[in-house]
Amino acid sequence: MGDVVAGEPWAPTVTDVARHIPTRTRDTKTPGSDKLLNTFTVNTTPTDAQAQQVIDDIVAALTAEFGDLPQHVGHSPDIAAAARTAVEWRAAADIEVAYPTRNADLNVYPLLNARADTARRTLQVALAAAGAGQVDLIPVSSFPPPPGWGDTSPGSGADYVTNLGGAPPYG
């Protein structure tokens, strides 16, 4: 299968992801081989097709979260690089936890996950700086501070908070 790229021009290849987890590229089909292939193939676990599916799923999740990223990589190289890196690290973490061969593999996941989270935040910052993509899902609102008399007037509720002992507030 080789280096098939997901539908986005910025999507990483299986070789890009393999750079982050080279021990996953060990030839598992050839008896006695301990050779690192530095990419995913039919002889690795996961195979190239399985690794590509992980990449495709993450690309889909990323575009669902941030919206369509700029299609022309040349117009936004920082965003393209940040998106590619975010997918690479997330795919490496997901592959590591999905195909463990020993306990140490599971211990590596938190480190890869932290790198993936950092790369995702970097993408978010790059998108915000360029004014592209959907970067804030929660609107931010602010109100002016209340006037000093606003919280103490009768009926505001403030008098009930201070009189939790059961005594009537006005009598």
In order, the DSSP letters of 103-155 are: HHHHHHHHHHHHHHHHHHHHHHHHHHHHT-S---SS-----PPPPTTTTTSTT
Return the structure tokens found at 86. 């975010």
Count of CA atoms in the C-beta half-sphere (13 A) of 131: 0
Q: Give residues with Cβ within 8 angstroms of 126, minimum separation 6.
A: 78, 79, 82
pTM beyond 0.75, yes or no:
no
CA 58 – CA 161 distance, rounded (Å): 49
Sequence-ordered list of residues with C-beta below 8 angstroms from that of 25, at least 6 positions apart, any chain: 18, 36, 37, 38, 39, 40, 41, 44
pLDDT at 1 over 50: no
Q: For residue 79, which of 91, 92, 66 has the smallest C-alpha distance? A: 66
Please state, in angstroms and rounded to a whole number, the distance separating the CA atoms of residues 144 and 163.
27
pLDDT tens figures, 134-168:
655 556 667 777 666 566 666 665 555 545 555 55
Q: What tokens does 94 get? A: 């997901």
**Among 17-21, 75-79, 85-89, which stretch is predicted with the lowest mean pLDDT?**
75-79
Give the chain's mean pLDDT.
Answer: 82
CA distance 71 to 68: 8
Residue 166 buriedness (CB in 10 A; 0-12 / 13-18 / 19+): exposed
pLDDT, tens only, 101-115: 888 888 999 999 999
